[in-house]
Amino acid sequence: MDETTITISTGDGQTLQVYRWAPDGDPRAVLQVQHGLGEHAGRYRRFAEALTGAGYLVYAPDGRGSGRSAAQGYGVWGPDGWPGWVDDVAVLARHLREEHPGLPLGLFGHSMGSFATQQFLLDHDDLVDAVVLSGTTEVGGLVPLLAGDEPADLSAFNAGFEHRTGFEWLSRDPEEVDAYVADPGCGWQASPFTGIETLLPAADPERLARIRDDLPVLLVSGDADPLAGGGAAIELVAQRYRDAGLGDITVRLYPEGRHEMLNETNRDEVTADVVAFWERTLTR
């Protein structure tokens, strides 16, 4: 796997650092990976090894206020706030379409990246050929939790789990949890999400009905993920897409899995399921 970096400019003048992980030989398709809150794209290098090994070209941005893109500090979202998160997904997708014409484009969004993806699809479903939502949830109930004036407090997600570090909700693998805690680019307290209410239409049946009906979507989640509601929140998202007319919606719920299924004890199984989805939807 060949690793390089490109940069893209956001609509409000920020510069995002984007990993580019290339396979040997000509790529079969392009994959865009959007990470979650309080982390960075470098954590997806192992995932990219599997994807490039299967022949895919992968781009993963350090999102605004995150990783190498956090020029003003972690959690500083910039003038556009949450709508900027969503627009950044579209900016990169358009860049990839222009850079790699003719290649299918798949979009993988984890956690906050998956919420941004849900909102992105309302207006930009034409930019992507298949979507994976990882560690996602039903956004109608989520927005009120993120809409306050105080920084987002995720500590409540660890209720019901052991409290060795406070991040046990992420994975059953203690080495993965320890790596997260030791990483200075992870676990920081996020600033309030200005404009997060613009996410609410992603739960509106009328808006969802405008998404093209031939877009394949895979939802992957652990049923012990506190965002999953035991799996009910994931099934609700999937059913909303089906009710909106989308005909290729797949749910994979992993027993006892927590929030970061790519870093779980059964991560090889999860990665293989995601690769199989890309194989089916992007390389026919």
Per-residue pLDDT of the chain (284 residues; tens, 9 = 90+): 999 999 999 999 999 999 999 999 999 999 999 999 999 999 999 999 999 999 999 999 999 999 999 988 999 999 999 999 999 999 999 999 999 999 999 999 999 999 999 999 999 999 999 999 999 999 998 888 887 777 767 778 998 898 999 999 999 999 999 999 999 999 998 888 899 999 999 999 999 999 999 999 999 999 999 999 999 999 999 999 999 999 999 999 999 999 999 999 999 999 999 999 999 999 86
- pLDDT score of 190: 85
CA 228, CA 137: separation in Å to the nearest integer?
6
Secondary structure, 3-state, 256-280:
CCCCCHHHCCCHHHHHHHHHHHHHH
- pLDDT score of 284: 62
Instruction: With beta carbons less than 8 A apart as the criterion, state whether 60 and 21 touch.
Output: yes
Tokens of 88: 């950044």
CA 86, CA 56: separation in Å to the nearest integer?
24
* DSSP 8-state secondary structure symbol assigned to residue 32: E
Tokens of 47: 């995932």
Instruction: With beta carbons less than 8 A apart as the criterion, state whether 221 and 135 touch.
Output: yes
Tokens of 163: 């409290």
- pLDDT score of 155: 79
Q: Please state whether beta strands 130-134 and 56-61 pair in parallel, antiparallel, or not at all (unpaired).
A: unpaired
pTM above 0.95, yes or no: yes
Instruction: With beta carbons less than 8 A apart as the criterion, state whether 105 and 32 touch.
Output: yes
Could you give all domains of the chain from N- to C-terminal order, each with its CATH number?
2-282 (3.40.50.1820)
